A and B are shown apart, each in its own frame.
Chain A
Amino acid sequence: MKKLINDPADVVAEALRGVAAAHPELRVDHEHKIVYRADAPVRGKVGLISGGGSGHEPLHGGFVGPGMLDAACAGEVFTSPVPDQMLAATRGVDGDSGVLHIVKNYTGDVLNFEMAAELAVMETGVEVVAVVTDDDVAVQCGTGVPGRRGVGVTMLVEKIAGAAADEGRDLAGVADVARRVNSAGRSMGMALTSCTVPAAGRPTFELPDDEIEIGIGIHGEPGRHRMPAMPAREVAEQLIEPILADLDFTARGGVLAFVNGMGGTPLLELYLMYHEVATILQKSGVTVVRSLVGSYVTSLEMAGCSVTLLRLNDELLRLWDAPVRTSGLRWGA
Chain B
Amino acid sequence: MAAPAVIDSAALERWVRTFAVAIAENEELLTRLDSAIGDADHGSNMARGMKAVLARLDESPPADPAALLKQVGMTLVSTIGGASGPLYGTFFLRMAAGAGDADALDGAGFAAALRAGLDGVVARGKATAGDKTMYDALAPAVDALDAALGAGDALGGALRAAAAAADAGRDATTPMLARKGRASFLGVRSIGHQDPGATSAALLVAATAATLA
Instruction: Give chain A's interface residues, CB within 8 Å of chain B.
Output: 53, 75-84, 106-108, 111-112, 114-115, 138-140, 143-146, 149, 197, 199-200, 204-205, 217, 219-222, 224
- Shortest Cβ-Cβ A-B pairs, 9 listed: A144-B184, A108-B82, A111-B86, A108-B83, A219-B39, A107-B83, A79-B81, A199-B44, A107-B181
- Residues of B in contact (CB 8 Å), total 35
Interface bits B97-108 vs A (CB < 8 Å: 1, else 0): 000000000000
Interface contact B187-A140, CB-CB below 8 Å: yes
Interface contact A80-B181, CB-CB below 8 Å: no
Residues from chain A with Cβ under 8 Å of B38 in the complex = 221
B76-135 contacts to A, CB under 8 A, are 77-87, 89, 124-126, 131
Main secondary structure on chain B at its contact with chain A? helix
Interface contact A79-B179, CB-CB below 8 Å: no
Residues from chain B with Cβ under 8 Å of A219 in the complex = 39, 182
Shortest C-beta distance, B7 to chain A (Å), equals 28
Taking A77-B41, A221-B39 as contacts, is the C-beta distance between A108 and B125 under 8 angstroms?
A: no
Residues from chain A with Cβ under 8 Å of B56 in the complex = none
Residues from chain B with Cβ under 8 Å of A112 in the complex = 81-82, 85-86
Interface contact A200-B31, CB-CB below 8 Å: yes
Interface contact B85-A205, CB-CB below 8 Å: no
Interface contact A143-B78, CB-CB below 8 Å: no
Residues from chain B with Cβ under 8 Å of A81 in the complex = 81
Taking A79-B45, A84-B78 as contacts, is the C-beta distance between A108 and B85 under 8 angstroms?
A: yes
Shortest C-beta distance, B85 to chain A (Å), equals 6
Interface bits B65-81 vs A (CB < 8 Å: 1, else 0): 00000000000011111
The chain A residue sitting closest to B76, CB to CB, is A82
Taking A76-B45, A82-B77 as contacts, is the C-beta distance between A145 and B82 under 8 angstroms?
A: no
Interface contact A200-B85, CB-CB below 8 Å: no
User: A199's contact among B41, B82, B83, B186, by CB below 8 Å, is which?
Assistant: B41
Interface bits B178-191 vs A (CB < 8 Å: 1, else 0): 11111011110100
Can you list 15 A-B contacts (CB < 8 A)? Answer: A75-B81, A76-B45, A79-B82, A80-B83, A82-B85, A107-B83, A112-B85, A115-B86, A115-B89, A139-B185, A143-B184, A145-B131, A146-B185, A149-B185, A217-B182
Taking A199-B41, A200-B31 as contacts, is the C-beta distance between A146 and B181 under 8 angstroms?
A: yes
Residues from chain B with Cβ under 8 Å of A139 in the complex = 185
Residues from chain B with Cβ under 8 Å of A75 in the complex = 81-82
User: A146's contact among B31, B81, B84, B180, by CB below 8 Å, is which?
Assistant: B180
Number of A-B residue pairs having CB atoms within 8 Å of each other in the complex:
115
Interface contact B81-A197, CB-CB below 8 Å: no
Instruction: Give chain B's interface residues, CB within 8 Å of chain A.
Output: 31, 35, 38-41, 44-45, 48, 77-87, 89, 124-126, 131, 178-182, 184-187, 189
Residues from chain A with Cβ under 8 Å of B41 in the complex = 76-79, 197, 199-200
User: A80's contact among B31, B85, B125, by CB below 8 Å, is which?
Assistant: B85
Interface contact B124-A111, CB-CB below 8 Å: yes
With the chains together, A53 CA to B85 CA distance in Å?
A: 13
With the chains together, A149 CA to B84 CA distance in Å?
A: 18
With the chains together, A199 CA to B38 CA distance in Å?
A: 15
With the chains together, A304 CA to B188 CA distance in Å?
A: 23
User: A108's contact among B44, B81, B126, B131, by CB below 8 Å, is which?
Assistant: B81
Interface contact B81-A80, CB-CB below 8 Å: yes
Residues from chain A with Cβ under 8 Å of B187 in the complex = 140, 143-144, 224
The chain B residue sitting closest to A75, CB to CB, is B81
Interface contact A224-B40, CB-CB below 8 Å: no
Residues from chain A with Cβ under 8 Å of B78 in the complex = 82-84
The chain B residue sitting closest to A76, CB to CB, is B81
The chain B residue sitting closest to A55, CB to CB, is B39
Interface contact B185-A144, CB-CB below 8 Å: yes
Interface contact A200-B40, CB-CB below 8 Å: yes
Interface contact B181-A197, CB-CB below 8 Å: no
Shortest C-beta distance, A122 to chain B (Å), equals 14
Interface contact B180-A111, CB-CB below 8 Å: no
User: B77's contact among A107, A115, A204, by CB below 8 Å, is which?
Assistant: A115
With the chains together, A220 CA to B31 CA distance in Å?
A: 13
User: B189's contact among A82, A108, A149, A222, by CB below 8 Å, is which?
Assistant: A222
Interface contact A145-B179, CB-CB below 8 Å: yes
Taking A146-B180, A222-B186, A224-B186 as contacts, is the C-beta distance between A107 and B125 under 8 angstroms?
A: yes
The chain A residue sitting closest to B186, CB to CB, is A222
With the chains together, A108 CA to B181 CA distance in Å?
A: 8
Residues from chain A with Cβ under 8 Å of B131 in the complex = 145
User: B87's contact among A53, A79, A111, A222, by CB below 8 Å, is which?
Assistant: A111
Shortest C-beta distance, B27 to chain A (Å), equals 10
Interface contact A145-B184, CB-CB below 8 Å: yes
Apart from A111-B125, A145-B131: 9 A-B pairs, beta carbons within 8 A: A75-B81, A78-B39, A80-B81, A111-B86, A112-B86, A200-B35, A204-B40, A222-B186, A224-B189
With the chains together, A162 CA to B114 CA distance in Å?
A: 44
Residues from chain B with Cβ under 8 Å of A84 in the complex = 77-78
